[in-house]
């Protein structure tokens, strides 16, 4: 029972991270119908920017290593990282994807891969982030808040789940209850018609990229604070994180905002439960096997609608 | 008396003609392979021969993926999965097979094997080479079988879902290979453990470096020739036409009575087979340690990039792009060589622009639709010219300011990729082939201009699309 609760909590924590990142994939796919492979690199960028900013603040405050930073540092770093990544996301869309708006899908995809390679390798340069993992200053104390049985709930877990939840609720509100959200849904439904109805399609797409990238930055930030050090920008673990978030988006029904949240949690739980109860070495296999199974049984994803192609 | 043409047609349809048709590509493959290994290799240094070998393997991979991504228009991003499967199956078979047959896992080189040639006095052909050849075929066949298993369910789906499933497939292959035992078996282990367990010990996450190193320029370029001719014939065949029609419009193809799933799976399986062969060659290459990373999606992306840069559907384009993509990052390490590129690049640019001026506007809509765009070749030449001149300028700047280009090579590569996609989305050759005559029309016009043809009929086409090709 205790292991079960513990596993459940771990699954929710990692699942909410996947969900945050999956939202970026799903929003871009919903509107532009292409897989933004550079999205996982925005996550990496978010994590590393958080590290750089946090280190600078901690240095300015004159804290010893190992000492926990004041409470406001975390949110401040998060905001900075989200803002910076939002701007970078906007720039990438403007420079790389917009010229290809009417190009074949494969070209856009290759461009995304190019952008991804560019971000990865630029991040690895010595004057950027370098090729070595670096320790991140302690932004949150590691104390146990309460325990149910043997399951310990740490402050960190609550912050990760809480932040992800707040951001997702904010996005849900934005997409389903604002004028901008309605415009986004309209563009995703039919780009041409949306344009004819007076929606500024380019602006909506730009905003989508900004939102997706800042959510990715938030995911990167939460990922960074969950560990004591973060890996170098081109490390395979980042690629895998991005891939799993993408799988989450597809499993939930790609293009569907609620589906991405649901898929993220489902994939997180599946991975952690498989790791705990079946075979820890195969945790990546469960995720990808689930992907293939879901696609074969319900190609549109669990919450997605099956589309019928009309001539 | 039958004319020569009649007799040729008669020969083609006779059984002897069939045998000839089946065998001449193999003869060409053998001859080119022997030339590469026995004449070219001894005259170049070790580094170059390794590069040329890598390019050959890349060509097989790119051309095989062209069948799926280029001919059929399906989008597979798990091609490296088949590469790894072929490599591991062939490697395991050759390694443990050598133990079973010859008592040790070492390579038994004949004169045509080995990246740096065989030791003096090597026999013409050895039992080890026969085993190697069988292993290659086995690797290809297992990859093809897996291709059926992956393709049959997933190719029923349309659009991006195939991409996603193949991505998942590649990653699963990677993780599963990582879980294999890390320690290779010794002769004693083989004797002690159950037979089914032996071939599965392929090094896990440490990689499988002990495969006997047979691969040589002979084997690789023989395989390149076979792959190229196969792909060319496939494109001309009825199967190939079915594949192309699926690319153009799947629904229309289905309405015309083409069994789309059947042909898509066929294309996928053929591609998997050749990827498996390439994997086997790769595994047996000196200095290569096959590792699970080779099944990962980054490797798959490398192959896709070659296919798209060459032009989707163009066999020769994919082959050329494979050579460029393999060699370019290496070139950026040696700025001195790169600087000299301007010697080739500037004339290319001048020639390209001159030809573009001579070609004039496309004659009319029919010309554009039939793909007879006279501006195609000049555009290809100009693209090549811009790339080469750009590279040499880059090398010059780097040298001037003491920047180490090698450090930035992957960034330059990524940027070049993005710029290429934006400025020339149809790739180097578009859907054309190097041997398409329509590509060379500007050359003919250049040397023997027909007065008035281009100005007479160009009245209605001033607003013709700016991009040639129909990719």
ipTM of the complex: 0.80
Assigned token pair, B90: 């062939």
Q: Say what the pLDDT of residue B115 is.
A: 81
Contacts of residue B142, Cβ cutoff 8 Å, sequence gap at least 6? B85, B86, B89, B276
Q: Say what the pLDDT of residue B458 is.
A: 40
**CA atoms in the 13 A half-sphere facing the CB of A272:** 21
Backbone φ, ψ for residue A152 (5° rounding)? -95, 130
- Any B CB within 8 A of A121 CB: yes
Tell me if B263 sits within 8 A of B243, measured CB to CB. Answer: yes
Tell me if A233 sits within 8 A of A48, measured CB to CB. Answer: yes
Tell me whether residues A295 and B164 touch, CB distance under 8 A.
yes
Q: Which candidate, A47, A36, A114, A126, places its Cα nearest to that of A85?
A: A47
Domains of chain A: 2-297 (1.10.3470)
Q: Say what the pLDDT of residue B56 is.
A: 95
Write the burial class of residue B460 (CB in 10 Å: 0-12 exposed, 13-18 middle, 19+ buried): exposed
Q: Closest to B414 (Cβ–Cβ): which among A117, A125, A291?
A: A117
- Any B CB within 8 A of A284 CB: yes
Assigned token pair, B299: 């490797």
C-alpha distance from residue B39 to each of A114, B286, B471 (Å): 39, 20, 39
Q: Which candidate, B394, B387, B392, B235, places its Cα nearest to that of B325?
A: B387
Q: Say what the pLDDT of residue B89 is.
A: 94
Q: Say what the pLDDT of residue B146 is.
A: 94
Tell me whether residues A111 and B298 touch, CB distance under 8 A.
no
Tell me if B78 sits within 8 A of B166, measured CB to CB. Answer: yes
Residues of A in contact with B160 (CB under 8 A): 33-35, 105
Q: Say what the pLDDT of residue A307 is.
A: 61
- How sure is the predictor about A264, in pLDDT bands with cuts at 50, 70 and 90? very high
DSSP character for B21? Answer: H
d(CA B66, CA B471): 13
Q: Which candidate, A274, A286, A191, A210, places its Cα nearest to that of A248?
A: A286
**CA atoms in the 13 A half-sphere facing the CB of A10:** 15
Cβ atoms within 10 Å, residue B191 = 10
End-to-end CA distance of chain B: 47
Best A255, A288, A309 member to test B by mutation, with max B CBs in 10 Å, is: A288
Secondary structure in 3-state letters for chain A: CHHHHHHHHHHHHHHHHHHHHHHHHHHHHHHHCCCCCCHHHHHHHHHHHHHHHHHHHHHHHCCCCCCCCCCCHHHHHHHHHHHHHHHHHHHHHHHHHHHHCCCCHHHHHHHHHHHHHHHHHHHCCCCCCCCCCEECCCCCCCCEEEEECCEEEEHHHHHHHHHHHHHHHHHHHHHHHCHHHHHHHHHHHCHHHHHHCCCCHHHHHHHHHHHHHHHHHHHHHHHHHHCCEECCCCCHHHHHHHHHHHHHHHHHCCCCHHHHHHHHHHHHHHHHHHHHHCCHHHHHHHHHHHHHHHHHHCCCCCCCCCCCCCC
3-state secondary structure at position B208: strand
- Any B CB within 8 A of A98 CB: no
- Could you tell me which chain A residue has the CA closest to the CA of B418? A111
Tell me whether residues B418 and A99 touch, CB distance under 8 A.
no
Tell me if B29 sits within 8 A of B217, measured CB to CB. Answer: no
Map tokens 């070609």 to a residue: B359
| pLDDT surpasses 90 at A69 | no
Residues of A in contact with B165 (CB under 8 A): 291-292, 295
3-state secondary structure at position B43: helix
Average model confidence (pLDDT) for chain A? 85
Best B65, B172, B297 member to test A by mutation, with max A CBs in 10 Å, is: B172
Contacts of residue A137, Cβ cutoff 8 Å, sequence gap at least 6? A54, A55, A58, A63, A65, A69
Q: Closest to B179 (Cβ–Cβ): which among A100, A113, A281?
A: A281
Q: Say what the pLDDT of residue B363 is.
A: 55
Tell me if A49 sits within 8 A of A80, measured CB to CB. Answer: yes
C-alpha distance from residue A40 to each of A25, A68, B338 (Å): 9, 29, 33
- Please report the DSSP string for B401-446 in residue order: TT--HHHHHHHHHHHHHHHHHHH-TTTTTTT--TT-GGGGHHHHHH
Assigned token pair, B7: 């007799």
d(CA B287, CA A249): 40
| pLDDT surpasses 70 at A3 | yes
- A to B CB pairs, distance under 8 Å: 113
CA distance B91 to chain A (A): 24
- Any B CB within 8 A of A239 CB: yes
Best B154, B421, B466, B470 member to test A by mutation, with max A CBs in 10 Å, is: B421
Residue with more model confidence, B303 or A229:
B303
Q: Closest to B305 (Cβ–Cβ): which among A100, A110, A243?
A: A110
**Tens-of-pLDDT digits for all 471 residues of chain B?**
567 788 888 877 788 888 888 888 888 888 888 888 888 888 888 888 889 999 999 999 999 999 998 899 888 888 999 999 999 999 999 998 888 888 777 778 888 888 887 777 778 888 888 999 999 999 999 999 999 988 887 777 766 777 878 888 888 888 888 888 887 877 777 777 777 777 787 877 888 888 888 998 999 999 999 999 999 999 999 999 999 999 888 889 999 999 998 999 999 999 999 999 999 999 999 888 888 888 887 888 889 889 988 888 899 999 999 998 888 777 777 777 777 777 888 888 888 888 777 766 655 544 555 555 667 777 778 888 888 888 888 888 877 777 777 777 778 878 888 888 888 777 778 778 888 777 776 666 666 655 544 444 443 333 333 343 333
- Any B CB within 8 A of A125 CB: yes
Assigned token pair, B358: 């001579």
Q: Say what the pLDDT of residue B203 is.
A: 79
Assigned token pair, A165: 């939840």
- Could you tell me which chain B residue has the CA closest to the CA of A251? B164
Tell me whether residues B414 and A121 touch, CB distance under 8 A.
yes
Secondary structure in 3-state letters for B366-405: HHHHCCCCCCHHHHHHHHHHHHHHHHHHHHHHHHHCCCCH
Map tokens 């929003």 to a residue: A27
């Amino acid at each position: 029972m205790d292991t079960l609760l513990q596993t459940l909590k771990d699954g929710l924590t990692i699942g909410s991270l996947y969900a945050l990142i999956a939202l970026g994939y799903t929003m871009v796919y919903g509107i532009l119908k292409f897989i933004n492979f550079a999205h996982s690199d925005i996550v990496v960028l978010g994590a590393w920017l958080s590290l750089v900013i946090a280190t600078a603040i901690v240095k300015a405050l004159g804290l010893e290593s190992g000492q926990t930073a004041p409470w406001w540092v975390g949110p401040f770093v998060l905001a900075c990282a989200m803002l910076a990544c939002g701007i970078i996301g906007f720039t990438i869309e403007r420079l790389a994807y917009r010229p290809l708006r009417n190009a074949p899908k494969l070209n856009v995809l290759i461009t995304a891969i190019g952008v991804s390679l560019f971000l990865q390798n630029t991040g690895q340069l010595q004057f950027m982030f370098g090729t070595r993992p670096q320790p991140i200053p302690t932004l949150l104390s590691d104390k146990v808040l309460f325990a149910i049985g043997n399951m310990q709930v740490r402050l960190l877990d609550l912050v990760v789940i809480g932040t992800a939840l707040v951001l997702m609720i904010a996005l849900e509100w934005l997409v389903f209850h604002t004028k901008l959200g309605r415009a986004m849904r309209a563009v995703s439904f039919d780009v041409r018609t949306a344009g004819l109805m007076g929606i500024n399609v380019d602006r909506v797409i730009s905003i989508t990229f900004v939102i997706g990238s800042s959510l990715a930055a938030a995911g990167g930030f939460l990922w960074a604070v969950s560990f004591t050090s973060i890996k170098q920008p081109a490390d395979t673990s980042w690629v895998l994180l991005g891939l799993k978030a993408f799988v989450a988006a597809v499993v939930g029904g790609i293009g569907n905002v609620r589906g991405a949240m649901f898929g993220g949690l489902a994939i997180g739980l599946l991975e952690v439960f498989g790791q705990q109860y079946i075979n820890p070495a195969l945790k990546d296999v469960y995720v990808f096997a689930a992907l293939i199974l879901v696609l074969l049984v319900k190609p549109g994803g669990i919450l997605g609608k099956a589309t019928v192609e009309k001539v | 008396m039958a004319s020569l043409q009649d007799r040729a047609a008669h020969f083609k349809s006779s059984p002897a003609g069939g045998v000839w048709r089946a065998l001449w590509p193999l003869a060409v493959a053998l001859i080119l392979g022997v030339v590469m290994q026995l004449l070219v290799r001894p005259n170049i240094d070790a580094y170059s021969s390794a590069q040329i070998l890598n390019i050959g393997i890349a060509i097989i991979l790119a051309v095989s993926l062209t069948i799926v991504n280029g001919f059929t228009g399906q989008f597979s991003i798990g091609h490296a999965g088949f590469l790894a499967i072929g490599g591991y199956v062939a490697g395991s078979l050759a390694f443990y097979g050598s133990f079973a047959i010859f008592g040790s896992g070492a390579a038994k080189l004949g004169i045509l094997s080995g990246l740096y040639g065989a030791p003096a006095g090597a026999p013409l052909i050895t039992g080890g080479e026969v085993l190697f050849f069988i292993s290659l075929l086995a690797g290809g066949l297992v990859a093809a079988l897996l291709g059926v298993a992956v393709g049959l369910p997933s190719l029923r789906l349309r659009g991006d879902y195939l991409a996603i499933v193949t991505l998942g497939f590649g990653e699963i292959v990677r993780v599963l290979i990582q879980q294999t035992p890390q320690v290779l078996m010794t002769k004693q282990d083989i004797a002690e453990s159950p037979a089914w367990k032996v071939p599965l010990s392929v090094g896990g996450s440490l990689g499988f470096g002990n495969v006997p190193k047979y691969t040589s320029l002979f084997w690789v370029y023989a395989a390149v020739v076979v792959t190229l001719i196969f792909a060319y014939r496939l494109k001309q065949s009825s199967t190939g036409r079915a594949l192309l029609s699926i690319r153009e419009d799947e629904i229309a193809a289905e309405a015309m009575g083409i069994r789309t799933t059947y042909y898509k799976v066929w294309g996928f399986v053929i591609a998997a087979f050749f990827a498996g062969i390439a994997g086997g060659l790769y595994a047996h290459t000196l200095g290569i340690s096959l590792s699970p990373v080779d099944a990962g999606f980054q490797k798959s992306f490398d192959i896709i990039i070659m296919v798209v840069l060459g032009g989707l559907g163009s066999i020769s384009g994919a082959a050329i792009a494979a050579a460029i993509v393999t060699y370019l990052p290496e070139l950026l390490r040696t700025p001195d060589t790169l600087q000299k590129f301007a010697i080739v690049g500037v004339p290319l640019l001048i020639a390209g622009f001159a030809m573009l001026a001579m070609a004039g506007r496309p004659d009319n809509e029919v010309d554009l639709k039939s793909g007879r765009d006279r501006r195609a070749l000049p555009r290809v030449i100009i693209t090549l010219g811009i790339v080469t001149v750009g590279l040499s300028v880059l090398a010059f700047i780097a040298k001037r300011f003491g920047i180490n280009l090698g450090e930035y090579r992957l960034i330059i590569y990524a940027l070049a990729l993005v710029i290429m996609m934006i400025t020339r989305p149809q790739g180097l050759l578009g859907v054309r082939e190097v041997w398409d005559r329509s590509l060379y029309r500007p050359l003919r016009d250049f040397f023997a201009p027909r007065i008035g043809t281009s100005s007479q009929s160009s009245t209605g086409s001033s607003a013709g699309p700016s991009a040639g090709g129909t990719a």
